[in-house]
């Protein structure tokens, strides 16, 4: 049997509502809001040569990689597999950045910690690709961000134990985060402050879906979603971020909905909320992207 290798696994995250908050520096900049951490995973393995990020066989996020390696003072490349593409709304850029910062931390003998996320957060903020995803992907669960910044700097309330049946689909098209942010004005902070307050009072997944749909309707075209879901049974809630569609459905109808969306040619997953965040897998074989955390030793922090 071959020697076990260390892989990083980072869950995908879809924000439901968010408001940018600019601080004195990148580490204190981020967003307030809330999102679901999905039981869908990016898996990355380290390479000893160079400093780079590779996603599904293609080099990506070169600026992020250089910034992370520079901040950490250590060069490492990572090759990652992902079930979704960049610019779709699943926080893949953050997952890839976290993969690199995590594996550098492991190589330096520090393991996975709040500190090992900081360079990934800074790179995400400086490149305007994500403001609150690192915080969410570190913790898992329904994450309500109450102070901007990465773990250990910002603050969040984490709601675990939610296991709704979710059908998640990757719709056509992509959009860079700066384009979305350009459509947001002072209204976003006002809505998000009220939404965070309401959600913290109840910590209810139904309210989260209601607030998320109300917020994202101001930013994204819901007509294609309503066409897809017209007449579908068992839908309890849904929201859209960029091209990431998250549908909460009664469990007995989840397979039917997934089959319907796959039949429309959409990249579709039956999943739930992950209570675990970024972690390590020790394996002689690379785990497959998208596998839930309860397969193997995923999510273990060292």
Tell me the CATH number at 265: 3.30.70.890
Q: Which residue has the higher pLDDT, 106 or 283?
A: 106
Q: Could you give the percent of the chain with pLDDT greater than 90?
A: 89
Is residue 78 predicted with pLDDT exceeding 70?
yes
Residues 226 and 204 in one domain: yes
Residues 146 and 225 in one domain: no
Is residue 296 predicted with pLDDT exceeding 90?
no
Residues 127 and 179 in one domain: no
Residues 65 and 78 in one domain: yes
Q: Which residue has the higher pLDDT, 177 or 119?
A: 119
Domain range holding 182?
A: 166-271
Residues 266 and 279 in one domain: no
pLDDT band at 208 (very low <50, low <70, confident <90, very high): very high
Is residue 301 predicted with pLDDT exceeding 50?
no
Asked, for residue 81, whether it belongs to a domain, the answer is: yes
Residues 43 and 146 in one domain: yes
Is residue 214 predicted with pLDDT exceeding 70?
yes
Q: Could you give the percent of the chain with pLDDT greater than 70?
A: 93
Is residue 289 predicted with pLDDT exceeding 80?
no
Asked, for residue 267, whether it belongs to a domain, the answer is: yes
* DSSP secondary structure, the chain, as one string: -PPPEEEEEEEEEEEEEEEEE--SSGGG-EEEEEEEEEEEEEEEEEESSSSEEEETTEEE-HHHHHHHHHHHT---EEEEE-SS-TTSSS-HHHHHHHHHHHHHHHHTT--S-SGGGHHHHHHHHHTTS-SSHHHHHHH-SEEEEEE-SSBTTBEEEEE------EEEEE-S----HHHHHTT--HHHHHHHHHHHHHHHHH--HHHHHHHHHHHHTTTS--HHHHHHHTT-TTEEEEEEETTEEEEEE-HHHHHHHHHHHHHTT-EEEEE-B-S--SEEEEESSPPPTT--TTSTTTTB--
Asked, for residue 108, whether it belongs to a domain, the answer is: yes
Within 10 A of 302 (CB to CB), how many other CB atoms are there?
Answer: 12
Asked, for residue 301, whether it belongs to a domain, the answer is: no
Kindly report, residue by residue over 83-140, the tens digit of the pLDDT. Answer: 999 999 999 999 999 999 999 999 999 999 999 999 999 999 999 999 999 999 999 9
**What is the reported pLDDT for 297?**
34
Is residue 284 predicted with pLDDT exceeding 90?
no
Mean pLDDT of 271-283: 96
Is residue 49 predicted with pLDDT exceeding 90?
no
Asked, for residue 300, whether it belongs to a domain, the answer is: no
Mean pLDDT of 228-255: 98
Residues 200 and 137 in one domain: no
**What is the reported pLDDT for 280?**
97
Mean pLDDT of 190-213: 98
**What is the reported pLDDT for 1?**
52
Residues 108 and 242 in one domain: no
**What is the reported pLDDT for 128?**
96
Query: The CATH number of the domain where 72 resides is what?
Result: 3.30.230.10
Is residue 286 predicted with pLDDT exceeding 60?
yes
Asked, for residue 299, whether it belongs to a domain, the answer is: no
pLDDT band at 4 (very low <50, low <70, confident <90, very high): confident
Asked, for residue 176, whether it belongs to a domain, the answer is: yes
Residues 29 and 124 in one domain: yes
Residues 87 and 171 in one domain: no
Is residue 295 predicted with pLDDT exceeding 60?
no
Mean pLDDT of 135-160: 99
Residues 33 and 104 in one domain: yes
Q: Based on the structure, what is the number of domains in the chain?
A: 2
Task: Write phi, then psi, for 275 (nearest 5 degrees).
Answer: -85, -5
Is residue 186 predicted with pLDDT exceeding 50?
yes
Asked, for residue 295, whether it belongs to a domain, the answer is: no
Residues 111 and 67 in one domain: yes
Measure the CA angle with vertex 273, ends 271 and 278; round to 5°: 105
């Amino acid at each position: 049997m071959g020697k076990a290798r260390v892989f990083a696994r980072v869950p995908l995250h879809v924000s439901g509502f968010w408001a940018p908050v600019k601080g004195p520096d990148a580490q204190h900049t981020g967003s307030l809001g809330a999102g679901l951490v999905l039981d869908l995973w990016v898996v990355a393995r380290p390479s000893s040569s160079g400093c780079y990020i590779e996603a599904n066989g293609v080099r990506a996020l070169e600026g992020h990689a250089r910034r992370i390696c520079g901040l950490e003072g250590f060069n490492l490349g990572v090759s990652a597999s992902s079930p979704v593409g960049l610019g779709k709304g699943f926080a893949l850029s953050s997952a890839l950045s976290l993969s690199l910062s995590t594996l550098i931390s492991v190589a330096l003998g520090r393991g996975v910690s709040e500190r090992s996320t900081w360079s990934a957060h800074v790179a995400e903020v400086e490149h305007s690709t994500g403001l609150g995803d690192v915080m969410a992907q570190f913790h898992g669960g329904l994450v309500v961000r109450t102070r901007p910044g990465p773990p250990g700097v910002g603050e969040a309330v984490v709601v675990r134990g939610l296991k709704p049946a979710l059908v998640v689909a990757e719709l056509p098209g992509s959009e860079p985060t700066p384009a979305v942010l350009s459509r947001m004005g002072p209204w976003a902070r006002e809505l998000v402050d009220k939404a965070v307050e309401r959600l913290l009072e109840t910590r209810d997944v139904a309210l989260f879906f209601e607030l998320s749909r109300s917020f994202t309707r101001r930013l994204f075209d819901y007509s294609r979603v309503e066409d897809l879901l017209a007449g579908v049974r068992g839908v309890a809630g849904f929201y859209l971020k960029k091209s990431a569609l998250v549908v909460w459905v009664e469990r007995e109808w989840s397979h039917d909905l997934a089959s319907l969306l796959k039949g429309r040619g959409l990249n579709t997953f039956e999943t739930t909320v992950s209570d675990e965040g970024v972690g390590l897998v020790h394996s002689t074989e690379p785990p497959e992207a998208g596998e839930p955390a309860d397969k193997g030793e995923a999510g273990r922090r060292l």
